[in-house]
Amino acid sequence: MYMKFINSVFAIMFMGGLIFPQNPLNIKKSIPVFYIDNSSFFTKEDLSSRRKWEFERQRDPYSNKIPENIFNLERKFAENLPNDKTMKLKKGNREFLTDEWVYRGPYNQGGRSRSVAVDVNNLDIVLAGGTTGGMWRSTNNGQSWVKVTPADDSIQTVTCVVQDTRIGKTNTWYYGTGEYSSNLELQDNGAGFTTFLGSGIYKSTDNGLSWTRLISTSPNYSPTFSYPFQLVWNIAVDISKIDLDIVYAAVYGSIYRSTDGGDSWSVVLGEQNNSIYTNVSVTSNGEVYAALSNGMTQGIWHSSDGINWQDITPEGFPSVYSRIVIANAPSDSDILYILANTPGSGTAGSSSLGLDDYHNLWKFDASNGNWTDLSNSLPDCVGEVGGYSSQLSYNMVIKVSPNDPELVIIGGTNLYRTTDGFKSKLDSQDWIGGYSPINDVSSYPNQHADEHDLYFLPSNPDVLYSAHDGGLSYTNNIRANEVVWSSMNNGFSTTQFYSVALDHATKNSPLIVGGMQDNGNMMNTTSDENANWTILPYGGDGCISAVADGGEYIYFSTQNGNIMEGRLADQQGALIVPEGASGFLFVTPYVLDPSDNKIIYVAAGNHIWRNSDVLSIPIGTETPTTINWTDMNNIDITQLVSALSVSKEPQHILYYGTNNGRVFKVINSHEGNPASQEITSNIFPPGFVSSIAVDKQDADNILVVFANYNVISIFSTTDGGETWEAVSGNLEQYSDGSGIGPSVRTAKIINVDGEKIYYAGTSIGLFAATSLSGMETTWIQQATENIGMVDVEALDIREIDGTIVAGTFGNGVFSSSVNVTGVKEEFIPSVFSLSQNYPNPFNPTTTIKYSIPVETGHAPSLQIVTLKIYDVIGREVATLVNEQKAPGNYEVEFSAKGGYTSGGDGSTLSSGIYFYKLTAGSFTQTKKLMLMK
């Protein structure tokens, strides 16, 4: 169903140049954030469609599963790959220089965040953690942030953070890692997002400035599940003891206790238990409460000493439950609230999630041991987003005010507040965050749906901090009739991008448009990394974006094929979806023709639609339209179109790939109803074509990328698809693509000073290569200090100034520029060498490299060098080199077609095995090559 597109909304957005100024590239000030309330065109994220799309592109096509624990295994694999700290990009005697990678934002938008806390001694110091973005620290209450995750750590998931608030101990903090249900990777069957293993608990003794992994919680980091601290639900500090540093950790299966600040631990509840979900809480007087889900010690437990436990699960509590979260009342240690996900019983949550999204709410009074069932006080599910839903406990939190045991906040997709301890049933007047309380899917101002953590300021309990899927927010008055939230996302770089787009025609243009998971689309028009990005219409999942040459027109989309055009020239916009199109992927491919940006191609199921002049679609169009749209029905396939790309030189060649590994090209795609030509290679896997990179200067030079695991990921052709070779090289563990190599999501080819650089965005970071040598290709990790091993979903390039921009899935957007240095003094080898020919097998040409050294203690001198080809019975069939050579590195091309590039008798050779022999002075070496026709 298409969202209603309201023309007046664009008019409001563009009013007075507030959002889309007349000349965005000359903006000197930050563009203010613009929030649109009470609008009907917002959309919530579509979890089921996303799961289906993610599974399709990542699954092993041979087993039809996501490899078990691949997210952690591939990071271990990445540790041995070359990177830009140890290896420069070079080709021959030329060196590729990449400027420093610069963070580009979005400065004013955060991503999924699970934890937040404030220093009790300095209220300006805030610590917060992202699910894929690491640990961050602010010294000015969220006006700016610094990432403090250890620089050499590939684990970026932070699930909880806590301070030791005892006098003299406040410089001590702890944070936990490991997310049981991550939004980044899928379970092997695609049914849900899978576990993202952590690396234990980290500790800071300098008030959060630096962190050290506690070896006791991470003895030997393993990419497979081998110890319980790889999944840390929460950490609690016992502030009642002065002589001991007692810390509790709720981890997978059990509750652990340390009496020495985390140097050593012992399991105190749930030993040999199989509880997935655990939770622990300590009152100000040292009483400990814990909750465990299914298992031998499931239930709700109490201990006065942290060692001996009593089961206090109330009678009548549901027998089936998953996650339980606990909240003590700081001002009354006898009062405890528990919120539980109880499939099939209690109060219903989202109707789309069925019986699994039911919840129970209970209150315990330790003074008399009584439990009160408050489940009927939870808000009812109403409308599209009303009520209490935790999305199967993914987002579930409860917190009690420090000075009022009846002021309690619960969070799921929405935030609700009770001021009477749930004596009254919650309804819309108690709705204080998440989606808009008018029950549409727009956001509550400066808030975001899907709540994960809450923190009351002890010194001023009216102040509440919130960590959610849109980053961080806080309010100065949680008791207000209408709670006003302020954003804390200034530089909290934890956003998760699906796409980024540049203006390809304007040199040094700072314009970037991008789509983010669950945070819609945004636009940046300044190179100032501290400038606010502009929020574009629609919420939900921001998907593919594009910019027309010159930057006057921008294109952006949300899940399942909703594509919009923003026209900067007249400050208006339109929905541009073709009427009659259907079957859109969750992230729908579409592309502007680089030779004529009025032409746009959109993939819809097994069809491709072309618009010959998208600018003719009237301003304010809010429903699908037939204007200038053509269904290119000669595209006759049964598979889904998963990737699109269009050539620039020569023009109008459309390449497209499918979700089962087929690739096609359409010549003169811009007019009529041209037929497609299949250029699928028999070496392609039956996987998901996620990206097709076409060289802007040569339409025959193409990379095709498969995002699946356990397949060869990248293929290259230089003849428009007549022949292909696998070039993913060291990005694969094994040469057949199997093993724990990463998922490659996207690729680009950039021409700089007559040279080509190949970029690949992967699930373990950004990689580049300066030449392709089949499965011997060496890909070098880029932006090691900035991007690191964060998933790079999106890339765009601008050749006129060498700009490259990368959209990460966890740390926002980064950009750089690349150039090629002049000829440098060539490295002179010290030993003879003869390299294996490449490619091998070959047809019809192959390249052979060899090196002539300088003898130790001698000046460089000429030597007679011969390089000859022989057949299997020793007959000479070609002489490639027979001359004097100075010391240096050489390469020669051999062609089996005749007319050899560097020698030969001109005859055509038949298929078979041949040998090549290098002789120079006393040195001789022979290697085998194979011609396969």
Q: What is the pLDDT of residues 566-589, one digit of tens each?
A: 887 666 788 999 999 999 999 999
Whether the upstream peptide bond of residue 445 has omega within 30° of 0, thus cis, is: no
For 622, list phi and psi in degrees, rounded to 5: -125, 5
Find the mean pLDDT for residues 869-895: 88
Tokens representing 320? 């089936």
pTM tops 0.85:
no
The pLDDT value recorded for residue 854 is 76
Tokens representing 825? 């003094």
The pLDDT value recorded for residue 634 is 77
Across 453-462, 535-544, 618-627, the highest mean pLDDT is recorded for 453-462
Q: Using only C-alpha atoms, what is the Rg of the chain?
A: 30
Q: Is the pLDDT of residue 164 over 60?
A: yes
Spatial distance between the Cα atoms of 514 and 899, rounded to a whole number of angstroms: 51
Tokens 């094929």 correspond to 561
Who wins on pLDDT, 360 or 198?
360
The pLDDT value recorded for residue 46 is 57
Count the alpha carbons within 13 Å of 370 in the hemisphere toward its beta carbon: 5
583 CB burial (10 A radius; 0-12, 13-18, 19+): middle
The pLDDT value recorded for residue 196 is 66
Spatial distance between the Cα atoms of 575 and 823, rounded to a whole number of angstroms: 51
Spatial distance between the Cα atoms of 850 and 835, rounded to a whole number of angstroms: 6
The pLDDT value recorded for residue 922 is 84
pLDDT band (50, 70, 90) for residue 862 = confident
Q: Which of 250-264, 312-326, 361-375, 623-637 has the lowest mean pLDDT?
A: 623-637
The pLDDT value recorded for residue 518 is 85
Nearest one of 879, 894, 882 to 837, comparing CA atoms:
894
Q: What angle do CA 607, 609, 615 make, to 5 degrees?
A: 165
pLDDT band (50, 70, 90) for residue 903 = very low
**DSSP state letter for 824:** -
Q: What angle do CA 528, 530, 534 make, to 5 degrees?
A: 85
Q: Is the pLDDT of residue 14 over 50?
A: no
Who wins on pLDDT, 457 or 826?
457
431 CB burial (10 A radius; 0-12, 13-18, 19+): buried
Q: Is the pLDDT of residue 458 over 50?
A: yes
Nearest one of 276, 237, 232, 256 to 131, comparing CA atoms:
232
Q: Is the pLDDT of residue 183 over 80?
A: no
The pLDDT value recorded for residue 182 is 55
Spatial distance between the Cα atoms of 755 and 735, rounded to a whole number of angstroms: 27
Who wins on pLDDT, 890 or 203?
203
SS3 call for 757: strand
Q: What is the dihedral of CA 872, 876, 881, 885, to 10 degrees?
A: 90
The pLDDT value recorded for residue 345 is 93
The pLDDT value recorded for residue 233 is 95
Tokens representing 24? 């965005």
Q: What is the pLDDT of residues 283-323, one digit of tens each?
A: 999 999 999 998 778 999 999 999 999 999 999 999 999 99
The pLDDT value recorded for residue 73 is 85
Spatial distance between the Cα atoms of 430 and 420, rounded to a whole number of angstroms: 11
Q: What is the dihedral of CA 703, 708, 712, 716, to 10 degrees?
A: -10
The pLDDT value recorded for residue 28 is 25
Q: What is the 3-state secondary structure (H, E, C) of 613-653?
A: CHHHCCCCCCCCECCCEEECCCCCCCCCEEEEEECCCCCCE
Find the mean pLDDT for residues 892-896: 87
Q: Is the pLDDT of residue 184 over 60?
A: no
The pLDDT value recorded for residue 151 is 66
Q: List the beta bridge partners of residue 336.
A: 328, 364
Mean pLDDT of the residues in the chain: 87
Q: Is the pLDDT of residue 22 over 50?
A: no
Structural contact between residues 644 and 608, judged by C-beta atoms closer than 8 angstroms:
yes
505 CB burial (10 A radius; 0-12, 13-18, 19+): middle
Amino acid sitting at position 504: H
Spatial distance between the Cα atoms of 790 and 156, rounded to a whole number of angstroms: 8
Nearest one of 600, 617, 503, 619 to 552, comparing CA atoms:
503
Who wins on pLDDT, 190 or 744?
744
Q: Is the pLDDT of residue 13 over 50?
A: no
Amino acid sitting at position 30: S
Q: What is the pLDDT of residues 790-816, one digit of tens each?
A: 899 999 999 999 999 999 998 899 999
SS3 call for 831: coil
Nearest one of 141, 96, 95, 88 to 116, comparing CA atoms:
141
pLDDT band (50, 70, 90) for residue 554 = very high
Who wins on pLDDT, 13 or 136?
136
Q: What is the pLDDT of residues 74-101, one digit of tens each?
A: 888 988 899 888 888 888 777 777 778 9
Q: Is the pLDDT of residue 830 over 90?
A: no
Spatial distance between the Cα atoms of 546 and 498, rounded to a whole number of angstroms: 12
Tokens representing 783? 């932006």
For 428, list phi and psi in degrees, rounded to 5: -60, -30
Spatial distance between the Cα atoms of 846 and 893, rounded to a whole number of angstroms: 6
The pLDDT value recorded for residue 68 is 79
pLDDT band (50, 70, 90) for residue 828 = low
Spatial distance between the Cα atoms of 710 and 742, rounded to a whole number of angstroms: 9
Q: How many residues are given for the chain? A: 933
Q: What is the dihedral of CA 431, 441, 190, 451, to 10 degrees?
A: -30
Spatial distance between the Cα atoms of 126 and 209, rounded to a whole number of angstroms: 11
Who wins on pLDDT, 753 or 539?
753
Find the mean pLDDT for residues 314-338: 95
Structural contact between residues 111 and 495, judged by C-beta atoms closer than 8 angstroms:
yes
- Element (DSSP H or E) covering residue 372: strand 370-373
Spatial distance between the Cα atoms of 109 and 252, rounded to a whole number of angstroms: 31
Tokens representing 811? 């740390």
Who wins on pLDDT, 817 or 273?
817
Q: Is the pLDDT of residue 181 over 90?
A: no
Q: What is the dihedral of CA 205, 207, 208, 211, to 10 degrees?
A: -10
The pLDDT value recorded for residue 900 is 42
Structural contact between residues 654 and 22, judged by C-beta atoms closer than 8 angstroms:
no
The pLDDT value recorded for residue 855 is 63
Spatial distance between the Cα atoms of 429 and 427, rounded to a whole number of angstroms: 6
The pLDDT value recorded for residue 8 is 31
Structural contact between residues 214 and 196, judged by C-beta atoms closer than 8 angstroms:
no
Q: How many CB atoms lie within 10 A of CB 426?
A: 22
Who wins on pLDDT, 172 or 822?
172
Q: What percentage of the chain exceeds 90 in pLDDT?
A: 62
